[in-house]
Every structure is written in structure tokens, then in C-alpha cells.
Structure 1
Amino acid sequence: MQRLCKEEQRDLRFELGSYCNQFQVMAAIPNRYQKVEGVTETSLAAIEYISFISYPEASKQRERENFSDSLLQAVLRSQNSITELNKHFESPKEWPRIDTCLSKGKKRHYKACVLWQAYTHYCNYVNQAASGEETINRGWYDFLVKYYAFYQNYDDGFAFGNYQSDFQELYSNRFDFQNIKNHGEKDELRPVIKDWSVFKSSLNLVYGLIKAFEKQGIKSLPSLNVLISKPFWVYEATKNSQYKLAKYLRDGKDKQPQVKTSIDPIKMPFLDLSFDPIFLRKDCIF
């Protein structure tokens, strides 16, 4: 993230403040769990941050909380902290139920990261074209299908292997049309478009997470287990996500995005740090 002067930081914070009563999802992290012995406050915040990436929708609060509960229970069970497990959960899950819930949440987390990558590369492509460096001959759906074609068979098709569409074939077919930017196979694209409609609300959170690791010189994200056990990234990621959300809000006023790639920042989770709330920060707001 670029270094911002104090005045611009305050302006972006004001932007967030002016929308506080409009955000569909807001939370201070960590706030779902009281002190858990053997689990640091930062690890608890990491669990909640991860759960918001996987389930950013306001309508998915129950699923989001179920996922975060499963993450915490997995940590406690792996530590054999049965006393803490029973203390914080009336009916603790056994490993089979935990694994089922974790698998669903991990797939959603994976998709959110893939779609962020596709969206970021597409925006860079369009910006380069606008500066005269390239000609736009690829559409947004071409980028989506390209990424799905790659990840469908990656890691044994962990997140995308159960789709009926063969995205590699679909991607190849799109290049058989002269005007591929406007060519679309509606049925085959439906799952891609559906995923985008959900996880475009996670863009600010994924940005925050990835930039926190890039600042450390790390180019790839570790597993969720490592994200929780080594949560050094939480503070930086949350501030980054706030910055990006403020930028989305401000930039949205200046230009109307393309319909297919349009985003609605109001639907993006606005997360804050319970131990360092943004509206009380005096220096280094972002």
C-alpha cells in the first residue's frame, strides 16, 4: 500500500465514517469470544477475519459464525484443550463435523482469493490499455474463465473440481470467436458469475490480507492453520482493508464502473480492531 500523507489518511477515514450507518456488515474483531486460554487475542481476531472473507454476505451470519466456531474448536481440539472447549461451547463438535464445516469455509476462502486475483489483474489490464500501452481485446468473463480453467485442476480441484463446466475447454472455445470479448456461453458461465456476485464483497478483506504478507516479502498465502497460529498479519490486514474500502467508496463517486465488474462497497464487511479502533487513531491511521 502506498504511503499516505496525514491529510489524505484523515480524508479516507472521514469517508468511512460518513457511511457507517449504511454498511450491511460491520464488526470489531475479536468480539465473538471472551478470553480463551491457550489462544491469543490476535489469533481470535484472525479466526474472525478469515470467516468474514469466506462469508462476507449479511445473509450468511449463521454460516460465518459456524465456520469461525469450527476454526476455534479445531484449534482447541488440536491442543487437547477439552476444558476450554466445554467452557466456550455448549455442544462441541466432533472432528467429522468440524472437518465438514472447515472444508466448506476453506473452499469459499480459496474462491475469494482467486477472484480477487482475477479482478486485480483485469483492472491492471484495463488501466494499461487506457494509458495506451495495450488494446482491450479481452473481457471480464475471459479473465474469470481463464482463472477458473487454471484452478479447476489445481490442488486436485479443491475449490472448483465439482463444477459441471469444463473451464479449460470453455476458455479455449472463447478464442475461436473473433470478438471474444462479447462472446458468452450463458449456462457454462453461470457458476462463475454466481461466485463473482458473492465474493466481490470480500475484495477489501482479501486485499488487506495479501498486502500484509507482501509487506513481509511473502508472495503466497499460507494455510488457514498457519494464518491462525501465526497471526502477525491481523493488525496490518485490517488497516489495509479499511483503506481499500475507503478507496472503493471514494473512487465510486468519480467514475461509473462497467456493469459486469461493478462492485458495491456498502456490501463489503467493514472490520475494525477492538483494541485499536480506527476512529480513535491519532497517527498512522492506515
Structure 2
Amino acid sequence: MIENAQILLIADNQDSSKHLETVLEFLGESITVCNSAAWVKQVEESAFKSSQFCAAIVAQCDKRDSVAVIQELHAWEKGLPFILVGEHSLEKITDSQLLACITAQLPERLNYQPLLDALHKAKLFHEHFNRLRDFDGVRDFTMFRSLVGESDALQKVRYMMGQVASKEVSVLITGESGTGKEVVARNLHLNSNRSDKPFIPINCGAIPRELLESELFGHEKGAFTGAIAARAGRFELADGGTLFLDEIGDMPLSMQVKLLRVLQERSFERV
């Protein structure tokens, strides 16, 4: 965690600023309050380094265009996540890296729990970015060579991949059939610390439900009729590497519950 981490609050409306400040202080956060017109000078006077700000909360700005302020903040500190309060003209933003830094958008009438969740998400984003700050993957988004294309959407995908490639986390990849989810998964594997270990794909929708549990977790000899020998499952085969569960939405709900427990506990037993 960042020592003396600060929340940068940008708000021009005095009532809105005071309300947000009160809520954030109640949550135990340290805050630096600025207005949109003079935030650069006010931050300099605070004596905090840019990397000490773990999140920027930007409320609606009366003195300046809030999007321009967000763009300036992003240029000032690339790893600063944004929590936006109220309406903002985000269609003006074309920078995919900046869009990825917007971790939450909240209504002007704030509720406690959504703000708490947004702060937690922003802090995780900031912590992960700083961990990878010296890792080429954060800034060299072209390292995923087999992802062909230069569109803004694909650049955003590359950026998100660069944030998780070197981390030991479970990754959810969504998209229509045929859009390249397995390509993304293979690229993540090849650019991770697990690249010298197996990449094991499995199509969960193509395996009969009565065989799926054994296929994933393996089974011991005699566990059921026809189990004449012990067999390792896909989780076991992927030990130390990457397991790609394709079409997971087609998996029976009862199996999804068992899978969730494995992902949470990081352990399993053969059938």
C-alpha cells in the first residue's frame, strides 16, 4: 500500500464538495480538496507526490469542462484511477488508456455502499498499476502480437491484458462466440510467469454434464462405474500453468457452484 495515500477530490460546488469531504472523512480517507480551475497549484501546495494519490474523485465542474480536467490529471499521473460523480461527457474521450482508468461512475446523490465499493476498486487498480509500473507490459501494449488490429476497442483490450498478464489472478474474458476469447487467454498465458507451464483449454459446453465434474477434477479408481483407474482432471493437468474454461455459461448451475468454491479456496479433490 502507498504510504500517506491521498484521495484527490475535484469539485467546484461548495455544497457538493463539503458533502463528499464529510463522507470520505467518515470512511477514514485522507483528502486533498481542489477546484477544477486551480487544481495544479493546489496539489503543488499540498506537497504530495502524484504517485501518493490513490484515486481522483471528480464531481461536476462549474468552472471548467470536467473532461479536460480528467485528461490533464491522466497526463499528470498515468496510474491515477477516476471515480466520476454526476454526469460527464465521456463520449469526448477517445484515449482507451484513459477510459480504462475510469473505474466507477456514481450518481450525484451518493449512497454509502457504492462509494465504498468504488474506492476499493480504485485502490486495487492503483496498487496493481504501481506494482507493474516498471514492467514493460503496462506501457508496451503491442506485446500481444497475435491480436491483430489497431482499433480503439482492441487497444483497450491490450491495455487491460497488460494489467493482468503478470498477476496470479483469475481472469473473466467475455465476448460473443468467435471474437477470440481463447486467443486472449493464450496471449495472457504466454506473457505470464506461467508461460513455461501447460495451457489447458476445455470447452465446458461440449462435455456431457455427467462427465464434466470428473473431467475437471479427475477421479479415483472405483469412484463410479467404469472408473477402472485413477485419472487426473484438467485442473491437475494445468498445475502451475493456465486453465481456460471456455463457454462457462453453458455449465450446469450445480457445477458452477462447485467451480466457484475451487476458485475461492484454490483447492479441490478428485471425484
TM-score (norm 2): 0.25
Q: Which structure would you say has the larger RCO, counting Cα contacts within 8 Å and 6 or more residues apart?
A: 1
Structure with higher Rg: it is 2
Give the helix-richer structure, 1 or 2.
1
Give TM-score, length-normalised by structure 1. Answer: 0.24
Higher strand share: 2
